[in-house]
Structure 1
Amino acid sequence: MIPQLPLALRWPRRQRFEHFHAGANAAALAAVQALALEPGAPWVYLHGANGSGRSHLLMAACQAANSAGRRVQYLPLATIADHAAALRGVAGSELLALDDLGAIAGSREAEHALFDLYNRARAEGSGLLFAAETTPTQLGIGLPDLRSRLGACTQFALKPLDDDERRVVLKAQAASRGIELDDGVLDWLFSRYARDLGALLDLLDKLDVASLAAQRRITIPFLREFLREAGEAAP
């Protein structure tokens, strides 16, 4: 049986539909929202690079479905040791979100377990939401029938936000915490730090705590000092 985490840990507040800046991914967002809330909606397969919002959408779907009274499960396959056992242990979910699907590629036992789960979910009328870095044909799945089933899902290629869109998200997230990030700070940060949105938001979490502890605004000198002390030296 898969251990259940408290709701606050399973569905982080930041990773909800209202905090997903769709950009060019509006169609994917609409399809995932429908799957989360409408029984019988088409199953969805999301693929895209790290930082494109795959996990965000899966967790947001689970949170929304759970809030609507539906039974949900989220499986982050990259962090699960025994994939086959986890997939066989899934039961009773109206929505099941499978993240990092590439983690099972090449494992005959796990692929067969997912194939069985797919067929079981179809028979029971459950909804399945998949996410991976690549398309089903590029994933390295060895079981042809499973590859075919995954390919039959509605597929969306998630596109990472551009720099202007990342700025909008960071400023909005900062403002929700009472933090002002001016353009100079963001210019400096974008030229010296990873532009992956997830990494930037994680950094904002840490900066929020550090600035409160130090009773200082987030300025370029503060940011430079923080990154240096965190072992991510910046000039």
Structure 2
Amino acid sequence: MADPLPLTHPRLPGLTRSDFVVAPSNAVALAMIDQWRDWPGGKLVLTGPPGSGKTHLAHIWAAEANARILAARDLERAAVPELASTALVVEDADAIPDAAPQDALFHLHNLMREAQRPLLLTGSRAVASWPLTLPDLKSRLQGAQSAVLDRPDDTLLNAVLVKLFIERQLQVSPQVVHYLLRRMDRSFDAARRVVEALDFASLAQRRAITTRLAAEVLDKIEGAES
């Protein structure tokens, strides 16, 4: 009989203001989120690479503005009037799959502007590169104020790794974190994948998370990506 899959450690996601790690790469975006009452036209486009903190900032703003959060792919024209009745976050707006959600977003944008409701849109790329097929929608979003999250520096990435380990209730030495910083890809997305893989490997092999286990996991990740 095959060994049962290991249980994962319970993860305690932290998406509050107190959980957000402020650094030069995200301080400007955070300040723009804080100044949401002054957004030109009542909207802001927040962009940055995967795992850069867009969802975290969106939740911080949603809590402050009493806003809903919705994935762009789930937009439907019939729901637009009801959605436009309150502040709203539309996540992954650069990945709208087809014309129907784009049409819904266009009408949602216009209704929210008329009602003076604030709108936050997130995406991994600048608006100019979004695959929007509605010229009027693209021009309106390109004219929006933008906040950009940059790739993390060592200080921020170190803090993010520590935070990710804490969320999974994992005790890891500073030496392991420093080792990971020297070897892993420089992105928040990579940090999430590495911590998740270490959590799984530690439980599966009943081993503590050491630099040796970290080396094995990183080698496995690099092999899978090559």
Same fold (TM over 0.5): yes
- 1:74 and 2:73 are equivalent in the alignment: no
Q: TM-score, normalised by structure 1?
A: 0.70
Among candidates 146, 149, 160, match of residue 158 of structure 1? 149
- 1:30 and 2:31 are equivalent in the alignment: yes
Deviation at 1:22, TM superposition (A): 3.1
Give the unaligned 5+ runs of structure 1: 1-11
Q: Secondary structure of 1:97's partner?
A: strand
- Relative to structure 1, the CA distance from residue 44 to residue 87 in structure 2 (aligned partners, 3 Å threshold; closer, same or farther) is farther
Query: Contact between 1:51 and 1:198, CA under 8 Å: does it hold in 2?
Result: yes
Q: Percent identity?
A: 28
Q: Which residue of 1 aligns with 2:95?
A: 103
Q: Which residue of 2 aligns with 1:221?
A: 212
- 1:113 and 2:114 are equivalent in the alignment: no
- Relative to structure 1, the CA distance from residue 61 to residue 221 in structure 2 (aligned partners, 3 Å threshold; closer, same or farther) is same
Query: Contact between 1:224 and 1:233, CA under 8 Å: does it hold in 2?
Result: no
Deviation at 1:232, TM superposition (A): 3.5
Query: Contact between 2:102 and 2:134, CA under 8 Å: does it hold in 1?
Result: yes
- Relative to structure 1, the CA distance from residue 39 to residue 91 in structure 2 (aligned partners, 3 Å threshold; closer, same or farther) is farther
Q: Per-residue displacement from partner, 1:26-75 (whole Å, max 9, x unpaired)?
A: 1211221333xx5978421112222322222113322444xxxx2x2212
Q: Which residue of 2 aligns with 1:58?
A: 58
Query: Contact between 1:16 and 1:61, CA under 8 Å: does it hold in 2?
Result: no
Q: Which has the higher contact order (CA 8 A, sep 6+)?
A: 2
Deviation at 1:233, TM superposition (A): 7.0
Aligned residue pairs: how many? 209
Give the unaligned 5+ runs of structure 2: 1-11
Q: Which residue of 2 aligns with 1:21?
A: 21
Aligned-residue RMSD, C-alpha: 3.4
Query: Contact between 2:32 and 2:147, CA under 8 Å: does it hold in 1?
Result: no
Deviation at 1:207, TM superposition (A): 4.3
Q: Per-residue displacement from partner, 1:99-137 (whole Å, max 9, x unpaired)?
A: 1112227x3333222111011111222110011122222
Among candidates 125, 134, 140, match of residue 131 of structure 2? 140
- Relative to structure 1, the CA distance from residue 186 to residue 178 in structure 2 (aligned partners, 3 Å threshold; closer, same or farther) is closer
* Moved segments of 4+, more than 6 Å: 212-215
- Relative to structure 1, the CA distance from residue 96 to residue 215 in structure 2 (aligned partners, 3 Å threshold; closer, same or farther) is same
Query: Contact between 1:45 and 1:130, CA under 8 Å: does it hold in 2?
Result: yes
Query: Contact between 1:33 and 1:61, CA under 8 Å: does it hold in 2?
Result: yes
Deviation at 1:85, TM superposition (A): 4.5
- Relative to structure 1, the CA distance from residue 171 to residue 17 in structure 2 (aligned partners, 3 Å threshold; closer, same or farther) is same
